[in-house]
Amino acid sequence: MAKLAKLDDIVSLCKRRGFIFQSSEIYGGLASCYDYGPLGVELKNNVKKAWWKSTVQMRDDVVGLDCSILMHPMVWKASGHADKFADLIAECKKCNSRSRVDHLQDKDAEHSDEHTTHADIDAELATAHDMSNKVCPACGAVGQFTEPMPFKLMFETQMGANVDDSMLVQLRPETAQGIFANFKNVLDSTRVKIPFGIAQIGKSFRNEVTTKAFIFRTREFEQAELEFFCEPGTDEQWYQHWKEARFNWYLDLGIKKENLHFRDHDPDELAHYAKACVDVEYKFPFGQGDWQELEGIANRTDYDLRQHQRGIRSLNNWFESDKDLIRTKLIEESEDYLKGPLSYFDDQNKKRFIPYVIEPSAGIDRSALAFLVDAYDEEEVRGETRNLLRFHPALAPVKVAVFPLVKKDGMPEIARRIYDDLKGLFNCFYDEKGAVGRRYRRQDEAGTPFCVTVDGQTKEDNTVTVRDRDSMDQTRVNTTQLRTFLREKLDL
RNA sequence: GCGGGCGUAGCUCAGUGGUAGAGCGUCACGUUGCCAACGUGAAUGUCGUGAGUUCAAGUCUCAUCGCCCGCUCCA
């Protein structure tokens, strides 16, 4: 029986065994930033590899991409992030709750202006906001607000070493826009035909108002995103397809079924671009055992490609607004937008359309955390606690550890040869120090699926023992068959 | 951002204003022949950081940073 892991146990194990450290720890840490240690980087890379394998390698209809983190600022105007990511917030002095200023309602008003546009932050700040009559939606206090303060959810930086000459650019808040911006490049260079997808793994940055729970919500994080382009009308079918495919991916990599479920978004929580969205949620051991999002699968419709068709025609407005994204006006969609540069021509049916997009968007860091938490186990063995990580072999940082039973009688030399032979196939670890039982247990805690041990019998009949992490059972295998045996067991 | 809790060795934690500690882990040597064995020894501390009070601060005060829990937020 798997023990329910406490987050503290996981954090402690991560530090102790070199999975995850806090960033800049020797300086007291930097909030919300974490580093992956020697075992952690292997785990994380394996998560990415597994995603890439199932999403790109094993499919005939998906190609990969790796975009720069910095993009033309107008990308974020067209995508909507430049506007939607900046708000004026005021805080109620009485109950400390925060509200968007444009959502606040006057004492005598009948309803608030729910859909006020996100205006120029500087202009808004310069405008006097009469807060004296505003009602706090949380506690009902009137006129108790702080001065409005601006919130920018995108990271900004300067491009160009000459400070006077540098341009304000943003760190991408999602990798998806790099895919949309390259849609035409991929079409023109790869002979793909709709339906097809473009996949990408990479870092994104969001100035979250609140970070949370270890590596679960961080301001710098890694995403694995697929934009799957399909003909309008077939979108629902592909939405279902990817829902199922992505859910099974987690199960196939060992996540326990009872810890994973779907949560459909209510229509009013849908993002501005989405027609439908479902989250794959994992039951994390923080909070009150809350279900938390690992991945969102959204039907983004043709919103993004249409927006970029507007964006690329709006460059002059951007220059004329002194490159101020908020003041820049996007040109209205042209009447024949269906024939625009980001449209697709279906040769077979002689049809032109703007593709719909199904987007499975997974958080790599939070997936890695889920795999860690889910694999964590403690069990009683002869009155002692055995800590282990029951990783799926594909995710295990080290696949095989090789030991001499004792450090003498030529055993280390043989073990060393076996190790050298195996390490070209997959990540291996050699250890000859101390008692073999301790070495086994250490590997259990790192999640290593198999330990190969050279003993006295090895010299006589050329066999070694292969010890299984989960059952602790041992099998004798001839060294000539060892590679095949392990490959099969590891499914590599 | 608010409220609560916490921060001492790699980890878990003890420490009454008066010499910096334990268990586990790590390392070395010996022993050992299959599951965190045993023996001997060793290394590891800006007590989160900075000020203040005091003859004296890990301990009291203030500030600050970080983590956890609960609100709040989450395109």
What is the CA A152 to C1' B49 distance in angstroms? 29
A438 φ, ψ (degrees, to nearest 5): -65, -40
What is the CA A217 to C1' B14 distance in angstroms? 34
Strand B–CB A442 distance below 7 A: yes
Measured N-to-C along each axis, helices A7-17 and A436-446 cross at an angle, to the nearest 10 degrees, of 120
Question: A22, A27, A1, A2: which is closest to A12 by C-alpha?
Answer: A22
What is the CA A431 to C1' B3 distance in angstroms? 50
For residue range A367-380, list pLDDT tens digits in order. 999 999 999 988 88
What is the CA A166 to C1' B39 distance in angstroms? 68
Strand B–CB A349 distance below 7 A: no
Q: Which residue has the tokens 């240690």?
A: A37
Where on strand B do bases come within 7 A of a protein Cβ? Answer: 1-2, 7, 10-12, 26-28, 32-38, 46, 48-49, 65-75
Protein chain A, residues 119-158, with a C-beta closer than 7 Å to any atom of nucleic acid strand B: 138, 153-154
The predicted structure's pLDDT at residue A207:
86
- What Å distances lie between residue A296 and A53, A193, A263, A438, CA to CA? 19, 25, 9, 42
Residues in chain A: 492
Distance CA A311, CA A302 (A): 14
The predicted structure's pLDDT at residue A91:
65
Strand B–CB A234 distance below 7 A: no
- Say if strands A62-64 and A428-430 run parallel, antiparallel, or are unpaired: unpaired
The class level of CATH for A398-490 reads: alpha beta
Q: Which residue is nearest to nucleotide B49 (CA to C1')?
A: A28
Residue A321 tokens read as 């607004």
Question: A334, A358, A338: which is closest to A346 by C-alpha?
Answer: A338
- Helix residue spans in A357-465 (DSSP H): 364-375, 411-422, 436-446, 456-461
Q: What is the mean pLDDT of each run of 10 residues along chain A (492 residues)?
A: 63 91 91 93 96 97 96 94 71 62 61 43 54 67 66 86 86 96 96 96 88 85 97 96 97 94 85 87 77 93 95 93 88 91 94 96 94 90 86 97 93 94 95 92 95 94 95 95 95 80
Give me the residue spans of the domains in chain A.
7-79+159-370, 86-152, 398-490
The predicted structure's pLDDT at residue A491:
85
Element (H, E) at A176: helix A176-181
The predicted structure's pLDDT at residue A3:
46
Q: What is the spatial order of strands in the sheet that A62-64 belongs to? A: A62-64, A196-205, A220-230, A356-363, A291-301, A276-283, A260-264
Q: Which residue has the tokens 């006097």?
A: A128
The predicted structure's pLDDT at residue A166:
86
Q: Yes or no: is domain A7-79+159-370 CATH 3.40.50.410?
A: no
